[in-house]
Structure 1
Amino acid sequence: MNDRAGETVLRLSGIEKGYNRGKPNEVKVLRGCDLTVARGEVVALVAPSGAGKSTLLHIAGLLDTPDAGTVEIAGEALQDKSDRRRTLVRRAEVGFVYQFHHLLPEFSALENIMVPQLANGVARGAAEARARELLDSVGVGARADHRPAAMSGGEQQRVAFCRAMANGPKLLLADEPTGNLDPETSDRVFSALMQLVQETGLSALIATHNLELAARMDRRVRMNGGLLTAG
């Protein structure tokens, strides 16, 4: 764990979320989840399919709002802030990685990593330099000019990691980031992700079914019955 781990980057307190509220078919997904992630800490979120881990990640990343509870990123409570403020914080402080890479097919690997930087006001030259640095750091610098369709699944996902890291976020949220890969490729890609996280000192909350990968993280939490428990 990073030696600056006393700083809390993500704090979720009493998070509740349901769907079809007030109706006979109401589904209560989250029933009061509490979680803190410290600076430099990598936390595994282990849960069966349908347990609500994606919902929790979307709330943590300000893509959805809870029915109750508070969401703090870097000490700022954001659950009731304006859409504009939430968007600004999400763009600057949060990086997302999904099971499928979601790269823009018409752009090269380099351009895919430049896009979020340009949207954040970074100059083109600086954005390109940052993109090349990230690609080199995960071993796919030689693929910078290739479009996603010309890359392997493992290469695509490493580019997706770089894109998530492009704006220097404090928090990385990943939803089954190696779920579509074979075991050998999954191991290589996860190692590249961990290297990126450790080199930058950011925090990460990573949802995975893979208990071997979860064991390589600093701490594990389990979701069951809409609640989080240690380990």
Structure 2
Amino acid sequence: MSDPILRLSGIEKVYKRGKPGEVQVLRGASLSIARGEVVALVAPSGAGKSTLLHIAGLLDQPDAGTVEIGGEAMQDRSDRRRTAVRRADVGFVYQFHHLLPEFTALENIVLPQLANGASRAEAEARAKGLLDSVGLSDRADHRPAALSGGEQQRVAFCRAMANAPRLLLADEPTGNLDPETSERVFAVLLDLVRDTGLSAVIATHNLELAARMDRRVRLEAGKLHPV
């Protein structure tokens, strides 16, 4: 695979769990994601998919192995550089929306842009465009508590896209929704990803949703295998 946006090579992660000893969650996991590719990460609960996504998104460090984003090896970079790359190049979506409750939908999308150096006018214009793209223009001034679960998660998608990342990492992004809403919200996410041409790794238990992505990999016994 030429010029991948994300390359994980030989990733290992061990957690110390007190007296019983260590638990090795990742055992040499390797994965390359091409630019514009959407990959489904399938794994049973407790297999380590959240750990893998955190390492891929520079939220955690592996005990061994390398992480490259856009061809840049990140394991020896300073915390400042890792934070800068994460803020500019990586977007995260979780099972729970984690929106800031005291801010409106629009403000939740504006804030990460301001933190990344955008002007207020630029940030608001992009936020409004993103909300429009997911059908929520009329909900811009609503706080999260006034939104439905599906609307909250669509706002979370927009927030993840706020700084125009090159890589989206989503951890069970529709896992907290009922099946009908999950299907509708997932379609919005997939359209958003396709329209912007970014790369994505989307963890899901839903094999029907996984089948709609470009490729599927399974995390099992600490390693990644093609499905």
TM range (shorter): over 0.9
SS of 1:7 mapped into structure 2:
coil
Distance in 1 (CA, whole Å) between partners of 2:18 and 2:89 is: 34
* Conserved 8 A contact 2:55-2:62: yes
- Which residue, out of 102, 107, 110, partners 2:103? 107
Residue 116 (structure 2) aligned to one of 113, 120, 136: 120
Moved more, 24-33 or 43-52: 24-33
Q: Does 1:184 align with 2:167?
A: no
* Structure 2 partner of 1:149: 145
**TM-score, normalising length from structure 1?**
0.96
The alpha carbon displacement at 1:23 in A equals: 6.8
- 1:194-222 C-alpha deviation (Å, 9 max, x unpaired): 11101110000000001110001000000
Q: How far apart are 1:80 and its partner, in Å?
A: 1.9
**Post-superposition offset of 1:160:** 0.1
Structure 2 unaligned regions, length at least 5: none
Give the Cα separation in 1 of the matches to 2:5 and 2:18: 34
TM-score, normalised to structure 2, is 0.98
CA distance in 2, matches of 1:201, 1:62: 22
- CA RMSD between the two structures: 1.3
1:40-76 residue CA offsets vs partner (Å, 9 max, x unmatched): 1000000000000000000000000000000000000
CA distance in structure 1 between the partners assigned to 2:204 and 2:16 by the alignment: 27
Residues 21/101 of structure 1: CA separation in 2 closer, same or farther (3 Å cut)? closer
Could you list the per-position Cα deviations for residues 111-158 of structure 1 after superposition, in whole angstroms to 9, with x for gaps in the alignment? 000000000010000100000000000111110000000000000000
CA distance, structure 2, for counterparts of residue 48 and residue 185 of structure 1: 22
Task: Name the counterpart of 2:90.
Answer: 94
SS at match of 2:151: helix
The residue correspondences of 1:123-138 to structure 2 (distance < 5 A) are: 123-138=119-134
Amino acid at match of 1:51: A
- The structure 2 residue matched to 1:71, chosen from 47, 67, 70, is 67
Counterpart secondary structure, 1:8: coil
Instruction: Give the number of aligned pairs.
Output: 227
Cα distance in structure 2, aligned partners of 1:95 and 1:182? 24
Deviation at 1:22, TM superposition (A): 10
Q: Name the SS for the 2:213 alignment partner.
A: coil
Distance 2:2 2:138 in 1: 38
CA–CA distance in structure 1, aligned partners of residues 193 and 137 of structure 2: 18
Question: Does the alignment pair 1:168 with 2:178?
Answer: no
In the TM superposition, what are the counterparts of 1:1-40 in structure 2 within 5 Å? 6-20=2-16, 24-40=20-36
C-alpha distance in 2, partners of 1:193/1:136?
13
Q: Percent identity?
A: 78
The aligned counterpart of 1:45 is: 41
Structure 1: gaps spanning 5 or more residues: none
One-letter code of the match for 2:219? Answer: M
| Distance in 1, Cα, partners of 2:99 & 2:26 | 30
State the SS of the aligned residue for 2:60: coil
Over 3 Å counting, the alpha-carbon distance change for 1:22 and 1:35 in structure 2 is farther
Query: Which whole-Å deviations, capped at 9, do the CAs of 1:178-203 have from their partners, x for residues lacking one?
Result: 00001111111011101110111000
On the 8 A contact 2:3/2:71 being kept in 1, the answer is no
Runs of 4 or more above 3 Å deviation? 21-24
